[in-house]
Structure 1
């Protein structure tokens, strides 16, 4: 059993994977999307297939007051698109897994702030910092989901 965390960004989509015991999230890289996170769908589907992912946790960027803005609506469309694309691949016999992974959306308010703080505490600064923020945000999103599952 492996879970995938996804942080949708405009420049990059950050990814994190869980360990098989579902206790810890670790970085799985970034996908450059140059302004359109939908470009990440195919590489994410490939990762899901390669890693045997059975649950995908997508960050839902709610407003501070809890309402949904454009980014949250885009995240919902992205998650729906992911499920439809995988379902179509399964129907066509082009997907190694037999079922569409569960896809959930998790409130990611202040996740990027937490990611920046964690990177600064780890003394990651300068040029190395910015590309790592997206995958660090994916780690925070996934770890939050893993921790809440245990409660």
Structure 2
């Protein structure tokens, strides 16, 4: 699989909230962007579609949650379905990034920045998406979904 290039949106998938980060491959720096919520998948994908229209990414990165030992669990399957749905809906490649420690890293970053309480909860998922995208930029790829590649 060739190296991805261009703008990217990254997703820290959760059943309730989806953290979103944005970055550009050429500079290799990720930024927290948004937290997507909604009462239904349709509402969440409407919000994601608005972000796609605004940022015009060339590909997506989706965090692949696994147990600490690397084995899959229920959320792994749901994140994979989410990535497959992104790929079908927007016809853009999806790459996976190991997200085992992205939330812990995000917690530490927010603690260091002295972001607590309500503000902490609002940005945690975005910062987790930022962490996994930065890890991806730094070489932490875990396969892809581009319509031909196996995951």
Kept in 1, the 8 Å contact 2:25–2:137? The answer is: no
Give the match for residue 78 of structure 1.
82
Unaligned runs of 5+ in 1: 87-99
Rate the CA distance shift 1:114–1:37 in 2: closer, same or farther, 3 A.
farther
Q: Unpaired runs of 5+ in structure 2?
A: 1-5, 141-151
RMSD, aligned CA: 1.8
Matched, 1:8 2:16: no
Deviations along 1:93-145, whole A, 9 cap, x unmatched?
xxxxxxx2210111100111110000000111112111111000000011111
Match of 2:143 in 1: none
Residue 46 (structure 1) aligned with residue 50 (structure 2): yes
2:38 maps to 1:33: yes
Alpha-carbon distance between aligned partners in 1 of 2:27 and 2:57, rounded to the nearest angstrom: 11
| Kept after mapping to 2: 8 A contact 1:16/1:135 | yes
Change (3 A) 1:63 1:69: same
Structure 1 residue aligned with 2:64: 60
Counterparts of 1:33 and 1:113, CA distance in 2: 24
Counterpart in 1 of 2:92?
A: 101
Q: How many residues align?
A: 135
1:141 paired with 2:146, answer no
User: Which of these two proteins has the greater Rg computed from alpha carbons?
Assistant: 1
String of CA shifts for 1:10-59, please: whole Å, max 9, x gaps.
Answer: 3311111004634211111111135x666422322331232110110000
Task: Using structure 1 for the length normalisation, give the TM-score.
Answer: 0.81
Give the helix-richer structure, 1 or 2: 1
